[in-house]
Every structure is written in C-alpha cells, then in structure tokens.
Amino acid sequence: MRTEYSQLVKAPRERVFEALTDYEAIPTWDRVMFKRVSVTQRGPNTATLDADVRFMGMKMRRMERHVLTPPEKVEVDGSVRNAINTTVWTLRTVPEGTILTAELEVEFKGLLKLEFKGLLKLLQPIAERQMRTVLPEWMREFAGYVETKQPN
C-alpha cells in the first residue's frame, strides 16, 4: 500500500527539519499516533527510535531507523508487528514557508500476510483509507506545532 501527502508549514525549512527530528518532543504535540518515543541510537546523520504508537485503535511497539539529509530529507524504515514501512519525508522551500511531503509505503509480512491473504481484498481498502486519514491529520498537527513553536 502506498500513499503520498503534502502539507504547507509556514516556517523556514531548517526549523521544520529541526522539529521533524526532535523525536522526544513528538508525544507532546501528537494526538494522532505517537504516544512514546525514545532515541536508542543517534549518529551524525542517523537515528534509531523505539516508540509506542496507536493505529486503527491498536497500541503497538514501533521501531524506526532514520537517515537524515539536512535540511531537505529524512528517510525512515519502520516496523510494527507483522508490517514494515518506508517513509521518505522531503522539505521544499516555497515563498510561504516549507512544503513537507511524505511518501509512505506499507507492506504486511509474516503471519499477518498469510492470515489476510483471503481477506486482503476486503481489508486493504480499510487500511488504505485509515492511512490516508491519519497521515494528513498528523501532518496538520505537526504544521500547527512548528508554526506556533518559538525558534531556538
């Protein structure tokens, strides 16, 4: 499953990038998905996260590996039980601020894929609709957070 969404953030690209990679702050403003975020490893252009998320009404543990290309891109490989995803976040400067774009791809794996094989045609549209709802909602909340946050 794949989806893409863009959101205008009325702030300079560097400030948007800083907020996007301020992982520990995410649970303070995110009412949509992330309930806890811990950085387990941080390198010059990488970060590894351990998080608790809520998706489709279920609480799950999520692991993520981020590759950072400041200030224009963050590439994320993430996983929850029986599903993996990649997200490429790009930040483009425009006169009004920054266009933040997320390209998200999700793949079921293991038993979930086997269990859903017969139901996949039924469940896939539901999961896709949920993704297409949650991603824009999360990005709107993020934009509001960045736009009201005072620069460091």
At 100-134, the pLDDT tens digits run: 999 999 887 654 444 455 555 555 666 677 677 88
Phi first, then psi: what are they for 32, rounded to 5°? -95, -50
Give all domains of the chain, ordered by start, each with its CATH number. Answer: 2-148 (3.30.530.20)
Taking the model in full, what pTM does it have? 0.86
pLDDT in tens, 135-151: 899 999 999 999 998 77
User: In angstroms, rounded to a whole number, what is the distance separating the alpha carbons of residues 34 and 149?
Assistant: 19
Helix, strand or coil for residue 131?
helix
CA angle 92, 93, 97 (to 5 degrees): 120
Query: Tokens representing 50?
Result: 């351990």
> What residue type is 134 in one-letter code?
V
